[in-house]
A and B are shown apart, each in its own frame.
Chain A
Amino acid sequence: MFNLFKNKNAEKESLDKILAKSDDYKCIDYFNQKTNVSFTLKFLTTLIDEKTVQESILPYLLEENFKEIDDAKEIIPLADIQISEDISQIEDKLFTGSVLLTVNGKENKFCFLGARKEIGRNVSLPEVEFSVIGPKESFVESLDQNLNLIRKRIPVKELIMEKLTVGTLSKTKVAILYIDGITNPENVDTVRQRIEDIEFDEITDSSYIVQIISDNQNSPFPQLLDTERPDRISAILAEGKVAIFVDGSPHALIGPTTLVEFFSSFEDYYLNWILSSFFRLIRLFAVVFSILVTPVYVATLSYHYELIPQDLMNTLVASRRAIPFPPILEALFLELTIELLREAGARLPTKVGQTIGIVGGIVIGTASVQAGLTSNILLIFIALAALASFTTPVYRIGNTIRLMRFPFLLFAELWGLLGIVVCFSFLLTHLIRLTSLGRPYLEPLYPPRMQDLKDAFIRLSFDKQRKRPFLLNTNQPNRFHKKAAKDKKDIEDE
């Protein structure tokens, strides 16, 4: 980073100087009366667990037979002790919670004593991807703790963790996880390469990484799946994908991913395959409905009145009669109201947020219908569309879907149904062109792969899930060995 310090000694001096400006920097001299050695401890109080210093470091240094720096390893009962002569390490170590020990007069050799203070929350319930059935733990901000959760679920030596550091200021630790022998090394290389290439100063969350390493940064579609569920990560690692953990972020990333994966909740795997397939189809229907219903309403009412069945005509015309705006303004007005409610609900504390949602939904809805600003039919459509957009199990894609409605609305206003088709074609092309870590995003739809359809729109039973996704081109395409074919039993055969 700031390679301002060319000269080594000068480096140490200026480090001292800069550090001295911070009040949490302590540099204390001690004297061991037994051996007549005076030594110095340097540390940042904010990063150090003082209890460790008081109980596991100082008593031994002061009372044991401490003569040279090398003795530290023998007398101090700590696991993380490192002796070094490399001055350039000092800064790194100090800032990751080590105590620097030097013996006065022999400053060119020093010892780092790990005494990091751990402040973090405990493993808690998943909040974004809640599920009724299945494990109830979710990732936290600590990288080690997260990795621990994964290691527990995949206790094999083939689970590889590679650590990288990114961000010139944040020095964020990033871990790449994959299973050796299953995951295609190409994917791992792509991820590693892209993370190494990151040029940014402050990486605060995995969301930064998603956006920076995406294949197409100008796409509203998320190209890596993020999850807070350890069970999901471990299952997906077993499929042969690569996971990325970022220190300080409770969300891990998975790639390569496909569009359909964003519409599968992990609960799908905890339910019987018939049920989960049905729910998946409902969710997909909800997505299509949520994107298209208002544009189709606008298109039909503005251009294609012929499409409306005779029996519906009375209701529709009667509800529209008093409204002074064209359908597009009416639709935009309501869409924006819903967006406002959502935004307000997201910003406010949970309890207030709920109240706002109810008050806003009911009061504004009924009032705007009574005031003749919107038709009640459209109100029903918009509310349903909003509801449908919240059924997406991955939060990120839900946002994308809500955004998608607006270009569709504009095109519907422009050319009616024809406009919707044009806009749809643009969307389709965009999706076909999109890739995730170089793999097609729309797979298994395009390129069409029958094999991967077993876990896309529907999820077949586990004995049909023998093959790993073709998309990943894994080193070991079979998840388990097929048992020798059983004879087909007839009725009442044993």
Chain B
Amino acid sequence: MRSILKLITSVFLALNLIGCVKKEVLDDISLIEGIGFDYIDKKNILGTAVIPVYLPDQPPKKTTFSTKAEISKSILQDIQRQTADPIATGSLEVLLFSKTLTEKLGILPLVDAFQRDPSIGSDLYLAVVDGETKELLAGQYGIRGNATYISKLMEHNIKNEDLPQSNLELFLGDFYQEGKTPFIPQLKQIGKNKMKISGIALLKHGKMVDQIAPDKMFFFKLLVDKYSEGMHRVKIESGEAAVRSIHSSHNFELTKRNPAEVTIHLKVNGNIDEFTGQELTPKTIQELQKQFEKDIQKECLKLIQHFKDKQIDPVGIGHFVKTQTRNFDFKNWRENQYKDLVVKIKSEVKITESGVIE
């Protein structure tokens, strides 16, 4: 009996001694689900954290904390001083940056903290907000909390619509990849409790230099994503059709060197969702295909020319040329070759189905 007592005491003593790993009991921490950053002045930023309060049988109640600081971690520290429970960043879902901040300061110094923190996953959405993030986060969207709303919004648009794949991991990947410019989606508040995706922000060295309008996103996704879905309206003489891409692929080919010439092969398989004309004959389908191919060529070339003018490369042509060339000189590429680059687009559209109506 005595030995058992001794054993129990020693076990508990040992537990006390060894068990000094910091606990983060789920209900005793404040889970930050989203953070927004706004521009104040050259040195200071305003951080807003979304911390939902979970209640039984009810949608989570939203609370936000805002604070002013110089770097992102000190924002968290300052929010620590405002919350009842210690904050935890492990289930962070979205990082938002206001447009002014992205243009003036750049997001890199802010992202660094999140890249370094092992408790933060890579599957984290970044977005630029057209306006102030604080205002955006003040709204009440959906029933699952603001951060979840935003992440779900982006998730389904990436999966089924024309928003290209984007998350922290891909952003960093593009950033570190030489010869590629990162991009992140852009959000805009359009009402008190409403928001929408208002384009794609292109960032050079972390600073926003340009954006893609929503109507160009379909072509942008075709250029940057391996697979893309989305819808495009094609106009021909006999009517207008909405074609939904169900499968697409893109391939780069280096057709000539000095000056470099890159051919981009784009293949789209699509269905017709809607047609305003009288009759959908095989001929009209042929016409639609042709027109769609032309649209793709025109729009994509326009986009690429625009990128070249802006000295950015979100498609990653620089990276592609590098993979085809030994001892590739990026400096030379950026300064001279990229300007002279010739890009050709070859598109191929195949319309496979046209709905259940003949």
The residues of A with any CB-CB pair to B shorter than 8 Å are: 300-303, 305-306, 308, 310, 313-314, 316-321, 323, 326-327, 410, 413-416
Q: Whose C-beta in chain B lies nearest to the C-beta of A298?
A: B25
B151 cross-chain contacts in A, Cβ below 8 A: 310
Contact with A along B37-61 (1 / 0, CB 8 A): 0000000000000000011110010
Contact check: which of A300, A313, A321 meets B56 at CB < 8 Å?
A: A321
Q: What residues on B are CB-neighbors of A301 within 8 Å?
A: 25-27
Chain B residue contacts of A306, Cβ below 8 A: 90-91, 119, 121
Residues of A within 8 A of B31 (CB): 305, 313, 317
B119 contact set on A, CB distance < 8 A: 306
Interface presence of B88 (CB below 8 A): yes
Q: What residues of chain B lie closer than 8 Å to A317, measured between beta carbons?
A: 26-27, 31, 54
**B27, B57, B91, B144: which contacts A320 (Cβ < 8 A)?**
B27
A305–B90 CB distance below 8 A: yes
Asked if B23 contacts A318 (CB within 8 A), the reply is: no
Q: Are B54 and A321 in contact (CB under 8 A)?
A: yes
**Shortest Cβ gap from A107 to chain B (Å):** 54
Is B15 among interface residues, defined by CB-CB distance under 8 A? yes
User: How many chain B residues have a CB neighbour from A under 8 Å?
Assistant: 26
**Can you pick out 9 interface pairs between chain A and chain B where the beta carbons lie within 8 Å of each other?**
A302-B23, A302-B24, A310-B151, A314-B54, A316-B26, A318-B54, A321-B27, A321-B54, A413-B15
Instruction: Say yes or no: A308-B27 contact (C-beta < 8 A), given A314-B60, A318-B54, A415-B21.
Output: no
A346-B329 Cα distance, complex, nearest whole Å? 80
* Interchain CB contact under 8 A, A326 and B25: yes
A323 with B27, Cβ < 8 A, contacts A305-B90, A306-B119, A314-B54 known: yes
Contacts of A321 on B, CB cut-off 8 Å? Answer: 27, 54-56
Given contacts A305-B88, A308-B26, 10 further A-B contacts (CB under 8 A): A301-B25, A301-B27, A305-B31, A306-B119, A314-B144, A317-B31, A317-B54, A320-B26, A410-B11, A413-B15
Contact of B19 among A300, A313, A414 (CB under 8 A): A414
Interface residue SS majority, chain B: loop
Report the minimum CB–CB distance from B92 to chain A (whole Å).
10
Write the nearest CB–CB distance from A422 to chain B, whole angstroms.
11
When the two chains form their complex, are residues A310 and B15 in contact, meaning their CB atoms are under 8 A apart? no
Contact B21 A305 (CB under 8 A): no
Q: A310-B148, A410-B15, A414-B19 are in contact. Are A302 and B54 (CB under 8 A)?
A: no
The 10 closest A-B pairs by CB, nearest first: A306-B90, A317-B54, A320-B27, A318-B56, A301-B26, A318-B54, A305-B26, A314-B54, A302-B23, A414-B19
Whether B18 sits at the interface, judged by CB under 8 Å, is yes
Collect the chain B residues with CB atoms within 8 Å of residue A410's CB. Answer: 11, 15
Q: Which of A316, A320, A415 has the largest number of chain B CB atoms within 10 A?
A: A320
CB closest chain-B residue, reference A319: B56
